[in-house]
């Protein structure tokens, strides 16, 4: 995932890239933000499902003892 920071010139959220020790800022457009939020939601959902499955497995192991 891209690194995001506040642009020191305009104050907007920007993707930052470093080339040859020089940092460049590229403003993030609304469509990009929505896409990133969607990606984060999907990742969080997968993490939640995995955590729930592990909790269920742990309870099963505890009850078998």
- The model's pLDDT over 12-48, given as tens digits with 9 standing for 90+, comes to 888 888 888 888 888 877 787 888 888 999 999 999 9
Which positions ≥6 away from 7 have C-beta within 8 Å? 13, 14, 25, 27
Residue that the structure tokens 């990133």 belong to: 36
Q: Where are the domains of the chain?
A: 4-63
Question: Is 14 within 8 Å of 6 (Cβ atoms)?
Answer: yes
DSSP 8-state code for residue 28: P
Q: How confident is the model at residue 59 (pLDDT cuts 50, 70, 90)?
A: very high
Tell me the sheet residues that pair with 20: none
């Amino acid at each position: 995932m891209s690194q995001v920071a506040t642009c020191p010139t305009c104050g907007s959220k920007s993707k930052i890239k470093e080339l040859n020790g020089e940092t460049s800022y590229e403003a993030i457009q609304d469509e990009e933000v929505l896409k990133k939020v969607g990606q984060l939601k999907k990742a969080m959902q997968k993490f939640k499902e995995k955590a729930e499955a592990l909790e269920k497995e742990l309870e099963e192991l505890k009850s078998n003892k």
